[in-house]
Structure 1
Amino acid sequence: MSIHDAKVIDIHAHAVLEETFGTAGAYGPELYDDADGTPIFRIGGYRLRGVRYRGSPFMDPDLRIAAMDRSGIDWQLLSPNPLTYFHYIPAAEATSFCRRHNDALAALVARYPDRLGAAAALPMQDIDAAIAELRRAVGELGMRAAYIGTDGIRGLDDPEMDAFYEAVTALDVPLFLHPAPAGIDGPKASAAMSRYELDITTGFTMQETLALATLVYGGVLHRHPTLDICISHGGGAIALLWGRLEHAAHKRRWAPDHLKADGAFAAELQRIWYDIHVHDDRAVDLLVERVGTERLVYGTNFSGWDAPERFESPRCDAPLADNARRLLRA
């Protein structure tokens, strides 16, 4: 089995790597057990309690492959843990972490070339360093994609990001966007987000929706017509808010001229690739109504709290594996 003949391809699977611990200086990452035996994953001043990374598919590739077999997943793209994007810490520490992460992840997937691929972690606070590391990750390590958070010290439409997008397209790889819980190494979210894990369930949806609106309104897709972007969780609430956002593109004075033509707003969002890990067939149905099926891909957040136990084909009958192969240039 390989990506070329895989029937089920999972593009949403994060890895935690022992080799990266301590490589971001005082920010960690660090994994240890509390006095009562509870596992703690520390990133700077943030501590995630109760997730047992060691001895799980997150860190043990043999356990991952066995779990993939049980879940019916043939091939998987591995990406950085969202807790360790490190987009807000000093650039030197972020660059150190990303280089070690990419080296370790490349070595891991090389042991299972027919089952696993890798996406690069990048130090986005330093655009030149991010471009250099992406070139190294793709050209020397054989990674298949760039992978960054939806939020950072620059907006996704910041003019300084254009050089990065140009590098992504020149290397002919896709760019994956995925949120992280607010406040790990950057600004804190509303206090309401700290309750009931709303930072993950609702905050992620908000970040994904804001990211897509920023890319469209900010002209990123217009300036980079061959840039391929894949976003997690169905693009947040983009399908639900579509009409309101499109109306603003037509009516508000700040909206760029290129979005005012009939169909222009839809055409830009139909260029995005969408991971359909949303837990709701009706949400997928609405997304299909908006963007079609040719850019939908399968994702699981593998081994995470919200991962499905087994692959289930969506009722929309999208060609998910073929789409993933096109997205990953396989």
Structure 2
Amino acid sequence: MNIDLTVVWAFIIAFGIFAYVVMDGFDLGIGILFPTFEAGPERDKAMNSIAPVWDGNETWLVLGGGGLFAAFPLAYAIILPATYPLIIAMLLGLVFRGVAFEYRWRDEGHRRWWDAAFTGGSLVAAMAQGMTLGALLQGIEVVDRSYAGSWFDWLTPYTLLTGIGTVAGYALLGSTWLVWKLDGEGQAHARSLAKKAAWATLILMGAVSLYNVVLNAQYTERWLTAPEIYFVAPVPILTAVVAIALLRALGVERHSKPFWLSIALFFMGMAGLGATMWPYVVPPGVTIWDAAAPESSQIFMLIGVGITMPLIIAYTGWAYWVFRGKVGEEGYH
């Protein structure tokens, strides 16, 4: 049986991106929601809940970006010039967030400034990631296998919508994480935030989905004509089921269930994006096969990924298992 290594690599990159989005997403979501927490113990608990895992979560960003460069070099060479301002903003946001995370504990005299940097960095990174996705989905102008657009082609009402939707989604992940990890008044506050974030996320997901249908002719054909519609129809149906289950879980005293359902909602959103874009890695004209590295390179890299990815999954799972309890004043217990 012949295995299409290009498809295998497409799924590896998609898995790495999904893992980054859901893991670093709740970190960024806590940063986005940080101003709504009371200064003092409530903010400290929120920070402590992610302290053991936040830097390890960003491993998946390296896998996603590095894997794209290695497995689909043409896509990398087109997407980055088309989104340089967004990528730079994202990286600066992540730097500010990381520095603020460390220094707020060591410089109490300026803690409010570090808290502001933590929030600002998280918000900028989340917005930039969402707008990068929007820029990719709306299409990138390519001539002779190179980016042929201008510096600000990425800035449109659609990308602003996807950016805001990503911010809301990350806030949902962050608040449901805190529902799981906190108790008492902190958990009640997180649950209240999660309900608002859930509705905002669902409304914005719906708006982006409707916008996608009319964004270009390929997407319209994929979602509104037979026989393609029969293959993609389960995605919105299952998304609705997950959304109802999430809202019900937030309405009762559940701890971890809202977080897992939030991840499921993100998974369905990614499934919808995959169904919309496939087989293009740079819509509307560059497929995964057009952008793929030579087969010999794919085989060589697959050996490395086969060794390293299980190790990453193992140590990530172990870290979450060790810190699986609730968070108190002094950290996990």
TM over 0.5: no
Q: Which is higher, the Rg of structure 1 or of structure 2?
A: 2
**Greater relative contact order (Cα < 8 A, sep 6+):** 2
Structure with the bigger percentage of strand: 1
Q: Given the two structures, how large is their TM-score scaled by the length of structure 1?
A: 0.29
